[in-house]
């Protein structure tokens, strides 16, 4: 990060929701994904990002909505950069809370967002209020009231959909490769090994994977490990321990990838989420 970039992150102990406010100039972060639902508002500047095979530009007041697994990046196309605030909503928490507002969920159903970027002033205000109450540790009843307001407005952008076994939108070889990566994420997987598991050569595999997910298999594997690293660090695990457990060469190797994806170091992320001192 340059000296002009900054991140302010916290985690609500009751819900596990992370709140983040940040400013970036130029390149912000590499393609990555989260295990959470992301609801954010651009405060200042132009927030440009690629997601779902489209380029989006979020300007002040617009709300961006990302699902778990949505690969996205971030950059500022203008010199003054961009500032935004965001909520990371745990999927289990969101499903539990939102199910009371919807009719019965379909069998094998999961929540999805209708749009990645939207202009909805009421949702922007509800997101900003929920962020403020959580980030600054307001009284529990105040936080819960603000979250209820957010969820009530969010239902206009959420819908139940059938969870796919095989996703008809994606090539089968890409799906098989993704499943294999998830099952063997901690191993030192080679392209030959992945190609053998999917029944095609390395070149067809890489082309199919990049066409389906926007990044190469090796980059997807790194992001998969980083998503796990976030969960472990938030629980208070030490960066060095996490790096070793997830197959990174060492702590500095984890740190380089973590900063490129999330804009802050593993140690700082751990401190902000767990409130535990470094040992």
pLDDT tens for 66-101 read 999 899 999 999 999 999 999 999 999 998 898 877
Of 23-37, 47-61, 76-90, 261-275, the one with minimum mean pLDDT is 261-275
Does 1 reside within a domain? no
Q: Domain span at residue 239? A: 172-274
pLDDT exceeds 80 at position 275: no
Question: Domain holding 208: CATH number?
Answer: 1.10.10.60
pLDDT at 141 (0 to 100): 96
Does 182 reside within a domain? yes
C-beta neighbour count of 109 within 10 angstroms: 16
Among 139, 162, 185, the domain-final residue is 162
Q: What residues are paired with 242 via a beta bridge?
A: none
Among 162, 194, 213, the domain-final residue is 162
pLDDT at 16 (0 to 100): 92
Q: Provide the pLDDT confidence category of residue 277 given band limits of 50, 70 and 90.
A: low
Q: What does the pLDDT look like over 200-223, one tens digit per residue?
A: 899 889 999 988 888 899 999 998
Question: Domain holding 99: CATH number?
Answer: 2.60.120.280
Same domain, 184 and 146: no
Nearest one of 206, 250, 210, 244 to 228, comparing CA atoms: 244
pLDDT at 101 (0 to 100): 77
Among 129, 162, 195, the domain-final residue is 162
pLDDT at 1 (0 to 100): 45
Same domain, 182 and 154: no
For residues 62-80, one letter each, b for 16 or more C-beta atoms within 10 angstroms of the residue's C-beta and e for the rest, the string is bbbbbbbebbbbbbbeeee
Q: What does the pLDDT look like over 104-114, one tens digit per residue?
A: 767 777 899 99
pLDDT at 226 (0 to 100): 93
């Amino acid at each position: 990060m340059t000296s002009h970039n900054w991140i302010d992150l916290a985690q609500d102990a009751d819900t596990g929701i992370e709140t983040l406010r940040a400013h970036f100039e130029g390149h912000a972060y590499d393609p990555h994904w989260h295990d959470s639902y992301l609801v954010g508002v651009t405060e200042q500047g132009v927030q440009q990002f690629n997601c779902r095979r489209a380029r989006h530009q979020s300007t002040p007041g617009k709300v961006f909505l990302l699902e778990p697994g949505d690969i996205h990046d971030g950059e500022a196309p203008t010199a003054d950069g961009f500032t935004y605030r965001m909520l990371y909503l745990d999927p289990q928490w969101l499903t539990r809370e939102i199910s009371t507002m919807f009719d019965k969920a379909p069998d094998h159903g999961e929540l999805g967002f209708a749009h990645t970027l939207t202009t909805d002033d009421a949702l922007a205000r509800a997101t900003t209020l929920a962020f403020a109450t959580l980030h600054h540790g307001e009284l529990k009843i105040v936080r819960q009231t603000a979250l209820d307001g957010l969820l009530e407005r969010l239902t206009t952008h959420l819908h139940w959909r059938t969870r796919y076994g095989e996703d008809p939108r994606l090539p089968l070889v890409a799906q098989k490769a993704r499943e294999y990566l998830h099952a063997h994420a901690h191993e030192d997987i080679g392209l030959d090994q992945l190609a053998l598991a999917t029944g095609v050569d390395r070149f067809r595999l890489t082309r199919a994977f990049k066409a389906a997910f926007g990044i190469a298999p090796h980059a997807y594997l790194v992001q998969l490990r980083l998503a796990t690293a976030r969960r472990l660090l938030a629980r208070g695990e030490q960066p060095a321990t996490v790096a070793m457990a997830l197959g990174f060469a060492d702590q500095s190797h984890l740190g380089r990838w973590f900063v490129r994806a999330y804009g802050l170091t593993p140690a700082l992320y751990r401190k902000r989420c767990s409130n535990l001192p470094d040992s």
